[in-house]
Chain A
Amino acid sequence: MLATMISGRTLAQGAGCESKMSPDFFKAAAICHLSERDFKSMQLEEGKNVLLKNEFGQVVLAARADAGLPEKMVFIPMGPWANILVGKETGGCGTPHFKGLMVEVEATDSPVLSIRELFSKRDRAYV
């Protein structure tokens, strides 16, 4: 499914944003909200994951149904998982284009990477 991705604050993400290495933050931010209709049509259920990908990257997230979302729109709480799908272009104003990105969404059996796993593949140029 091709969808528009937006990201933003949620209460749980905000409450955990100063304990980002905690399981609570993982539960709050490594998730993808889909409309109820898309959730159903993709045969998702609680505990299932989705793979999101676009020209900037790909990320696996836990799927959640959200009655407030229209079809073909996904919402991800702001954080390092959402930002994998964001490009570096700032349109000359310093701010990347965080919202309104097109993403391909599909169900997956792949696991969601933890925050340490997200940052583990770094090759340091400076030590």
Chain B
Amino acid sequence: MSEPILIKDAVCSFCGCLCDDIDVEVAGSRIQRVKHACRLGSSKIMGHERMQNPMIRKNGELVATSFQEAYDRAAQILLAANEPLLYGWACTSCEAHKKGILLAEEVGGVIDSTATVCHGPSVIGIEEKGLPGATLGQVKNRADTIVFWGCNPAEAHPRHFLRYSSNSSGRFTPQGRDGRKVVVVDVRETRTAKNADKFFRINPGSDYEVISALRMLIAGKGESIPEEVGGVLKADLADLADVLKSARFGALFFGLGITHSRGRYKNIDNALSLVAELNQYSKFVIMPMRGHYNVGGIGQTLAWSSGYPMSVDYTRGAPYFNPGETAACDLLARRDADAALVIAADAGSNFPRAIVEALAEIPVIQIDPYENPTTLLSDVVIPCAIAGVEVEGTAYRMDGLALRLRKMVDCSLPSDEEILTHILESVQKQRGSMSTKEA
């Protein structure tokens, strides 16, 4: 048994916090202990039961095969499709994203990320209005007023409070939690709400109205709004407006409570306007609480590669973007996508049931370390090494900061980047053979 090695300050690759103070004790090729990570991060780094062999579906059953046969079969499926969908990308590195974008372009497909089922509306809202943003470091060091709207970091980003926001202590915020005002707006009293100085329970689907009322109050037009908006008394909203206006440095964090509800991207559009207007009175910033650790990274990589942050359609040769038309759920609902490659995401679990049924009708290639419902729908399954644990690479934190993922242990399985490179090579080879035959 080799001596344990301590890897210090590794990056956790679970959520968009990308905590970079994780200590990991490794003995041989096994991770023995994880320090400083939350329950979500520890679970990810310590690992779960893995898929070991590539598989191809034959006579209705998934049977083991060689990696090369799996790559060739995947390439064959993508080449035979008119509009293949390459979906996922939230739990892998930007290096894999680059290969995936090349593959989408090569096969004339649509590449989309899990953003379209989480913060896609935020991406659209930000495109319309712009983002009055900041780094999490700025929030930690300067923010005296923190608002969590439709998000529950206590369960989804457990170390956010202590490392970056309400409970952190920074250069100009030495008192930590005691020196801050913390407000939570939600439809239910979450664990995050229990950490708040003031909790506002709003009616489901009323985010847009409540944000609009706050904008009116901040603009001094409170006489125009009714006595109650979205389940909140006007007097309470007026108090909240005063808290926001009097902030020295305010930060509004928002989550899927606002993107998944009635109004969707218009809610974000309105929240961005609220924060932009607050800057007439104080310094105020806003940030989406990105869920998977590199869903921000695929947005960045796609944006600098194609000009668009998600739902990029390469079927016409040049990139085209129109969420509602080119997003994964829309393509599948319309039965436009006739093959799918699902990587670093679990579409089987995370799509609405009717969309999953559409996915089940077409050939599916899965690249993932773990068996999950997508595996049950797949025709080709390729197990991979885990980015951020077994493979190094680049990821973007929720504030857009790029961090380097560390390799903690060896793995005999190929990385996502290697798998995509092999599929791309097979596509080019098979296309070459087809051209030769046609000639």
A contact residues vs B (CB 8 Å cutoff): 4, 6-11, 14-22, 56-57, 66-70, 73, 75, 78-80, 83-84, 86-88, 90-100, 115-116, 118-119, 122, 124-127
Contacts and interface: CB of A to CB of B under 8 A. Distances in A.
Interface in B100-118: 112, 116-118
Contacts, number: 186
A7 B351 CA distance: 13
A10 B155 contact: yes
Nearest to B122: A95
A68 B306 CA distance: 44
Given A8-B256, A96-B355, A19 B48 contact: yes
A88 B189 CA distance: 28
A126 B363 contact: yes
A100 B377 contact: no
B371 interface: yes
B5 interface: no
A94 B59 contact: no
Given A56-B352, A86-B352, A116-B376, A93 B360 contact: no
B168 to A, nearest CB: 20
A4 B256 CA distance: 16
Contacts of B352: 56, 83, 86-88, 96, 98
Contacts of A80: 348-349, 353, 356, 373
Interface residues of B, number: 74
Report whether over half of chain A's contact residues are helix, strand or loop; otherwise say mixed.
loop
Please list the 7 inter-chain residue pairs (A to B) with the smallest Cβ-Cβ separation, ordered nearest first.
Answer: A94-B327, A94-B323, A92-B324, A68-B189, A19-B48, A86-B352, A9-B156
Interface string B318-339: 0000011011111001000000
A11 B155 contact: yes
A96 B355 CA distance: 10
A18 B60 contact: no
Contact of B155 (A6, A14, A19, A96): A14
Interface in B216-262: 256-257, 259-262
A84 B377 CA distance: 16
A99 B156 contact: no
Contacts of B356: 80, 83
A90 B329 contact: yes
A6 B187 CA distance: 9
B288 to A, nearest CB: 13
A105 to B, nearest CB: 15
Given A14-B156, A83-B349, A83-B351, A95 B40 contact: no
Contact of B39 (A7, A11, A93, A96): A11
Given A20-B370, A83-B351, A95 B188 contact: no
Interface in B150-168: 152, 155-156, 158
B193 A68 contact: yes
Given A80-B349, A99-B257, A94 B330 contact: yes
10 contacts: A9-B152, A11-B39, A11-B40, A73-B188, A83-B352, A87-B354, A88-B333, A93-B124, A100-B205, A126-B361
B44 interface: yes
Contact of A94 (B193, B311, B377): B311
Contacts of B29: none
Interface in B26-78: 39-40, 43-44, 48-49, 57-60
Contacts of B363: 126
B353 A86 contact: yes
B348 A90 contact: no
